[in-house]
Amino acid sequence: MSFPGLPRMTGWRPIATILILAGAVAATARFAFGLGATTNLSDAFPWGLWIGFDFLGIGLAASGFTIVAAVNLFHAKEYEPIVRPAILTAFIGYLLVVLVLIIDLGRPDHFWHPMVMWNPKSVMCEISWCLMLYTTVLSLEFAPIILEKFNIHAPIKWIHAISLPLMIFGVLLSTLHQSSFGSLYLIVPNRLHALWYTPLLPVLFFVSCIASGISMVILESLILSRGGRDYLPTPLRANLAKIIAVTLAVYTVVRLQDLLARGALRELTTLTYYSLAFYAELLIGFVIPFALLLVERIRTSRRGLYAASLMVVVGFAFNRMNTAITGLEQYPTQTYFPSLIEVFIMLGITAVGFSAFSFIVKHFPIFEGAAVAPGLHHTAVAAQANPGFLSPDGGDLEPS
Amino acid sequence: MSQKKAMLIDVTLCVGCNACQGACKEENQLPPSDEKYLSLTAFTALSKYNDLYIRRMCQHCDVPTCVSVCPVGALTKMEAGPVAYDGEKCIGCRYCLQACPFHVPKYEWSSTQPRIQKCKFCASRLAQGRPPACAEACPTGATKFGDRDGLLAEAAGRISAEPTKFVPRIYGRDDVGGTSMLYISPVPFEQLGFDARLGKTPLPMLTMSALSKVPNVLSVGGVMLGGIWWITNRRSEVQAFEATEKKNRPSRHEDNP
């Protein structure tokens, strides 16, 4: 079965196969020999590349909740066609992050402990719960796509019945844990570099994930439209770009104002290991794409939009890796660089994600026609088809 | 009355004999060898600054950062003072290593079933009414075990008796909200490798300021999103209705001229 929307990536399959196999070997080594022998993690640097990957995966999967909220809660119905791809991206992203988290745990066999052993004072506990619950929400939002294909309709009805509270719950959970990833670092004021440590970490994490999540949706739509059919019209994509620009501006202002208020701006007056990392992140991910997206010609040009969105995503990656790694390094005495096994596990899992995405896109109706997202679309359609219930007597309207 | 136990470490009395480490290793059945830094096999260690020795170990904070960050409650604060660890609960997220302001927990990186290791404040000995092994072994009284209130009074007394000998500060009295290990020293603590930036507020408070907003986000956010949905949904219902009205009216006119 051929699908016109797929990216033309020659050689992708062998590369993905190699990456997945290498990742599997690396993961086997990690489980057989333990973290010490296979990673560059240490007492001084207990969190490394994998935590950075988790931040990244969750942030880029933020499209799942932003698009669902926009379309089904704020009724921006024109974005309906990207609801399914956004949910799919988020679902895969979250599953991969949960997988990496379990690999990262010293005791993967105890991964279920947070379900029964609670510590409400722990951000990590809150994040575990949000991840578990939101992944469940995503699976329910995603399930109708699979069930439809196999003509199983009863469960779809149940899911539709609870779709409104489900979606609201999903948006709230996302708000919580997107920001909580920032809250993880609130407790290390003495360790995290002043350029990244701020009481506003949760707020900044939340604002930036909105920009990166939407950028991912734009990138996806642009890459997939290479196949010929464009499922997201240019004006709509340009509107999304406007939202990104506003978000980037808000972020940059809040970030700089916070640095000023904490007296950390002077860290930027000299070129150091840290200030360079900061400049890279802020310029690539926020300032330059903001400037680009102000220009209408760029917002409506595929190439321009592609470049700007890519910069947002790359800058976002810089930001998360800087928070998780650079800001905690004691340059030059104590630094961290991931081991090959850490890298291979991450690449392998990323390859699994891309492969799963293209497999599902190929075999399930993700991009096709009027995608009926799990949700209130049904009631809206029903209301249009039979508006009689709106008037109390209904006698005003004759059945056609 | 507080039953909280503590140890007072008088830096001026320590001669660097390392008997504390020896006794600690014996008590915890660790391989006997002199170690300069905290490790999986050294729950206490002496570091030397010029002529002074400083004992490092778990500070057994009153409001422990590690206890607050542990997602599964594997770390707990006991009433008598010790911060206890349950390796059976631990999932190995290593947040405690990341968060401990004193860099105390050490991880069994080479194991496939790793746990953290750190000073236990000899909790089992305390339960029997005995002092920790290190305090018992200290030949000079540099490490003294007792009730926290009593030791604080004693430390203050020693400082005021010889104000030229000590800097006027009891480290651990209120640092990060107070700890079970109390230090008095002849030189400022920054010169002994203590982190001067920690402050008096317990670090878990920093997290609470964010976590305490969770119920608000859920309740206010839920109502707000529900309200927004209701308004936007109503609007599209009305639009749909008006559209049908327009379509139906003219057709009726045609039917009944």
Summarised one tens digit per residue, pLDDT across range B171-224 is 999 999 999 999 999 999 999 989 877 889 999 999 988 889 889 989 999 999
Within an 8 Å CB–CB cutoff, is residue A266 touching chain B?
no
Question: Do the chains contact at A73 and B229, CB–CB below 8 Å?
Answer: yes
Residue ranges per domain, chain A?
Answer: 40-338
Residues in chain A: 400
CB pairs under 8 A between A and B: 191
Structure confidence by residue, pLDDT tens digits, B64-87: 999 999 999 999 999 999 999 999
Three-state DSSP class for residue B179? strand
Cβ within 8 Å, pair B217-A175: yes
pLDDT of residue A260: 94
Contact A187 B235 (CB under 8 A): no
Q: What is the pLDDT of residues B93-144, one digit of tens each?
A: 999 999 999 999 999 999 999 999 999 999 999 999 999 999 999 999 999 9
Q: A106, B114: Cβ pair inside 8 Å?
A: yes
Other Cβ atoms closer than 10 A to A66: 23
Kindly report, residue by residue over B148-176, the tens digit of the pLDDT.
Answer: 999 999 999 999 999 999 999 999 999 99
Crossing angle of the two packed helices A302-324 and A273-282, in degrees rounded to 10: 150
Which pLDDT does position A148 carry in this prediction?
Answer: 86
Give yes or no for a contact between B151 and B8, defined as CB atoms under 8 angstroms apart.
yes
- Domain B5-203 fold is Alpha-Beta Plaits (3.30.70)
Distance from CA of A280 to the nearest CA of B (A): 25
Residue B211: list chain A partners with CB under 8 A: 120-121, 123, 126, 183
Q: Give domain limits for chain B.
A: 5-203, 213-255
Rounded Cα gap, residues A30 and A103, in angstroms: 8
Identify all chain B residues contacting A35, using CB atoms and an 8 Å cutoff: 109, 114
Share of chain B above pLDDT 90, in %: 82
d(CA B72, CA B93): 10
Between B47 and B247, residue with greater pLDDT? B47
B-proximal residues of A, 47-76, CB under 8 Å: 47, 69, 72-75
CATH superfamily of A40-338: Formate dehydrogenase/DMSO reductase domain (1.20.1630.10)
Q: Which of A55, A38, A100, A48 is nearest to A337 (CA)?
A: A48
Nearest CA in chain B to A383: B237
The interface predicted TM-score of the complex, written ipTM, equals 0.87
Nearest C-alpha neighbor of B173 from the set B142, B146, B145, B200: B200
Residues of chain A with pLDDT under 70: 1-10, 227-229, 368-400
The pLDDT > 70 percentage for chain B reads 96
Handedness of CA A281, A285, A290, A295 (dihedral sign): positive
Phi first, then psi: what are they for B184, rounded to 5°?
A: -125, 145
Find, in chain A, the residue whose alpha carbon is nearest to that of B65.
A187
Contacts of A13 (CB under 8 A, 6+ apart): none
Write down the H helix ranges in A225-376: 234-261, 273-282, 288-294, 296-299, 302-324, 340-363
Cβ of A198 under 8 Å from any chain B Cβ? no
B-chain residues near A379 (CB < 8 A) = 233
Residues 366-395 of A with CB under 8 A from B: 376, 379-380, 383-384, 387, 390-391
